[in-house]
Amino acid sequence: MTLSTSTRAPGLVRRRLVAGVAAGFLGMGAALGSGLMATASAAESTTITGVVLGVGANETQRIVTWYSSADTAQKIQLAPTAEIVNGEFPASAVSFEAVGAANTSTTGFNRHATISDLRENTTYSYRVGAEGSWSPAYSFKTRSFEGDYDFLFFGDPQIGASGDRLKDQAGWEETLKVATAANPNTELLVSAGDHVESANDESQWDSFLAPDQLRQYPLGATIGNHDVGGKSWEQHHFTPNTDRSAQYYTGDQATRSGGDFWYIYKDVLFIDLNSNSYANPADGSAGGDAAHVSYVTDVVKKHGSEAKWKVLVYHHSIYSAATHSTDGDNAARRKDFTTAFSDLGIDMVLQGHDHVYTRSYSIKNGQKENPAEQPGAADVFPGPGGVIYVTANSASGSKYYDIKKPGTTGTGPDGLGPDPLNPSNYWFNSVENQEHVRSYVKVSVKADKLVLENLRSGTCAAPNAAVEKGLSCVNTPEGQPVGSIVDSTTIHPYHGDGQAIQVNVPNPAPGEFGWTIDGYNGLVNLGTAQERNGTSFEATGKINPLLVTDSRRSLAPWSISANVGDFQDADKKFAGSYLGWTPYVLDGGAGAEAGAPVLSSFDDQGKGLSVSSGLAAAVQGHPRGGARLGADLDLKIPDSIAVGSYRTTLTITALSS
C-alpha cells in the first residue's frame, strides 16, 4: 500500500541579503526612551496629543494615530535614531502624510498615517505634526523579520472602572513597565479590549494612553463592550486590513466603532474581531457571529498559508469562569464559533471581558478534545482542530470578577458543568485563577511551539485600585511576587508548524506492514544556512527516525521512499532538488537495508530529493520484526537565494507486495 503525507512542513533557511540589495531590518520592540525632543518652534499653532504606535499590515509597517487641536496638513517624520543630532531630524528623514477627520466624541481632530518599508534591527525615531508644531520624538526598535519572538497580551485595563481614574492609570502604567522590563524580547503588545470604562470619556483615554510603552511597541488593539457607543476607540486606533461593513457592528451607525481586521506579524496571522456584534440584525440581514465566521474563513483561506500560526483575538470570553461565563451572548458564541475555529485550524484564541485568568483544555468542535488531558498540564498536544482559549485578567487592577462554581448542565457547547478531573473548575478549563492582583499573558512564538505564561505584574499592594477600595486579596507577596508565574504551558501543535520537514502517519495495524514516527512528530529544523566558499549556503539536519514493522507471514518485499517539493516562503522559492540525504539503519530488523545516498543538485546537477528516493528496503523472505530508520539531510543552495524562512513537505511512500 502507499501512505503519503501532505502536511505543510516549514524549515528555516536564513542568509544575509546579497550585495546590491538594501539590508532589510524589522522586528519589534525594545523599550527605547520616548523623551527625545524636537527643536521648539516659535509658533506652536497645533497641539498634538494621544500619540499611539499601532500595528501595521506586516512587520515592515506601523500605523501611528494621534489627536490634534487644529485641522491642518500633518505627517509622520521618521529617521534612524543614529542620524538624529541634537534633537534635529536629518534632511534625509522620510515623511508619511496623514489623513483624518474631525472628532465626534470631543473637540479637535484625529489623524493617522502608516509608516512603511521599515528595515530590520534598526532603532527609529519618529514625530508627528508639521513644521512649527511637532510632537516630541519617540523611538522604537525593529528586530529580525525571521525567527522566534514574544508578544504580550493584556486584559481589560478599563480605566475608570474603579471610580478612581488615576489609580487605574497607575496600575496600567505599572503593568506595562513591569511586563516590558521583564521580557526584553517583546516585540508586540495585544489588548483584549475595554480600554476605558466610558467610551467617550477622553480623560480616561488620556490615562489609557499615558504609558510610554504605547509609543515604543506596536499595539494590536481590540475593541470591548465598554469601548463602544462612540467613535473614540476608532479615532484612537486605526487598524490595518479592516472591514467596517455594517454586519460587524451593532448599535447606532453614528456611534459604531471598530470592525474586523487582520495582520501578520512574523509567523503569526492575527485576526481581530469586534465581538460586540453577535446576533443577526433585526432586519434579517446576515451579520453578527455568522459574519465574523465568514470573515475569519475568508482571511484564513487567503492568508493562512503565509504564517505558521493562527491566533484570534476578541473581547468576549466564551470559556471563562467568572461573572460573564453564564451570559446568553457567550452561550451563543460557544455554538457559533467553536466548530468553525476547529475546522479552520486556529491555534489559539485570546479573550478578555471577564476579569479573571483562565486557560482552556484543547477544545475541538465545542468539546474537550482529549478526555485524558490533565488539569494544569505543562505540555499540551492538540490534535487536528484542537484550539486553546485564554482569558486574561485585569491588567490595571481597576476591576476583578470572582470565579463561579460550575453548574449541573454537563459538557459540550450547551454545558457549564464541572470538570470530571477537577470538579471545582468548569469542564472546559485546565486552569482558573483569581487572586485580585494585576497580571498579563506572555506568548513566546517558536518555530515548533507556543509557550504561554500568565505572570503577576502586581501584588495586593498599590497600585491595585479594586483592592485599595476594599476588595479582598489572596496573593502572598513572599511566595507570589511581581514577575512570578501563575500558569505556564507549552503548546505543541499536531502539525508541528515551523518544521523544515514533517510527516504525520497512521499507526500500523497488527499483522501488517507499516511505519510510523519514532516518538512525537516534532521539529526537524535545518537551522540557519551557513555560507561556504562564497558560492553557496549549506544546512544540515536529521529526519525524525521512522519505525518500520512487518509481521506478515508472506515476508514480501517492502520499501520506504520519499521526495520533497519546492521550498517556499510566500512568493519566493527554490527547488527541492537542492536537498540531499544519506539514509542509514539505526536499529536493524525486518531485513532493512539503507538506501543509497542522494546528493544535492548543487553538487551533481541531478534532481536530489525532488524525485522519489529510497530510504530503506527489504527483499523477499526477510525476517519479521521491526527496524528503525534515519537519514542525514544535506541542503546546499546557491548564494543567490533570497533571504527567507522557507518551507517544504516531505512525502513518504511505503510500498509492499
Q: Tell whether the model's pLDDT for residue 524 goes beyond 90.
A: no
Mean pLDDT of 371-388: 96
pLDDT classification of 631: cutoffs 50, 70, 90: very high
Q: How far is residue 473's CA from residue 470's CA, in Å, rounded to a whole number?
A: 9
Contact 412, 522 (CB under 8 A): no
Percentage of the chain beyond pLDDT 90 is: 74
Q: How far is residue 190's CA from residue 179's CA, in Å, rounded to a whole number?
A: 12
Residue extents of the structural domains in the chain:
45-145, 146-491, 513-656
pLDDT for 522: 66
pLDDT for 412: 81
Q: How far is residue 641's CA from residue 539's CA, in Å, rounded to a whole number?
A: 14
Contact 430, 377 (CB under 8 A): yes
556 versus 80: the higher-pLDDT residue is 80
Q: Beta strand pairing status for 186-191 and 219-220?
A: parallel
Averaged pLDDT score across all residues of the chain: 88
Q: Tell whether the model's pLDDT for residue 521 goes beyond 90.
A: no
pLDDT for 507: 44
91: CB partners within 8 A, 6+ apart: none
Q: Tell whether the model's pLDDT for residue 34 goes beyond 50.
A: no
pLDDT classification of 535: cutoffs 50, 70, 90: confident
495: CB partners within 8 A, 6+ apart: 7, 8, 384, 502, 504
Mean pLDDT of 120-136: 96
Q: How far is residue 539's CA from residue 527's CA, in Å, rounded to a whole number?
A: 7
Contact 388, 452 (CB under 8 A): yes
pLDDT for 42: 29
**146-491, what's its fold?**
Purple Acid Phosphatase; chain A, domain 2 (3.60.21)
Q: How far is residue 189's CA from residue 28's CA, in Å, rounded to a whole number?
A: 10
Q: How far is residue 215's CA from residue 52's CA, in Å, rounded to a whole number?
A: 5
521 versus 631: the higher-pLDDT residue is 631
- Of 162-171, 272-281, 513-522, the range with the highest mean pLDDT is 162-171
CATH number of 45-145: 2.60.40.380
**Could you give the angle at the alpha carbon of 316 between the alpha carbons of 148 and 57, nearest 5°?**
40
Q: Lay out the sheet containing 429-433: strands in order across.
A: 261-265, 268-272, 309-316, 348-352, 388-391, 357-360, 429-433
Picking from 323, 314, 319, the residue whose alpha carbon sits closest to that of residue 288 is 314
pLDDT for 209: 98
Contact 627, 531 (CB under 8 A): no
Strands (E) across 376-438 are located at 379-380, 388-391, 418-419, 422-426, 429-433
Question: 463 preceded by cis ω (within 30°)?
Answer: yes
- Assess whether the region 45-145 and the region 146-491 belong to the same CATH fold: no
Of the listed ranges 28-37, 359-368, 647-656, the least confidently predicted one is 28-37
Handedness of CA 583, 584, 586, 590 (dihedral sign): positive
CATH architecture, range 513-656: Sandwich (2.60)
Q: Tell whether the model's pLDDT for residue 176 goes beyond 50.
A: yes
pLDDT classification of 22: cutoffs 50, 70, 90: very low
Q: Which residues pair with 562 in a beta bridge?
A: 613, 652
Q: Is the whole model's pTM more than 0.85, yes or no?
A: no
Q: How far is residue 56's CA from residue 491's CA, in Å, rounded to a whole number?
A: 27
Q: Measure the N-to-C terminal CA separation of the chain; round to a whole number of Å.
A: 8
Q: Tell whether the model's pLDDT for residue 320 goes beyond 60.
A: yes
Q: Tell whether the model's pLDDT for residue 508 goes beyond 60.
A: no
pLDDT classification of 285: cutoffs 50, 70, 90: confident
Q: Tell whether the model's pLDDT for residue 425 goes beyond 60.
A: yes
Longest Cα pair distance anywhere in the chain, in angstroms? 95
Q: What is the tens place of the pLDDT at every residue in 220-262?
A: 999 999 999 899 999 999 999 999 988 888 777 888 899 999 9
> What is the phi-psi region of residue 353: left when phi exceeds 0, alpha when psi lies from -120 to 50, beta otherwise?
left
Contact 63, 54 (CB under 8 A): yes
Q: How far is residue 154's CA from residue 395's CA, in Å, rounded to a whole number?
A: 6
pLDDT for 76: 98
Contact 345, 385 (CB under 8 A): yes
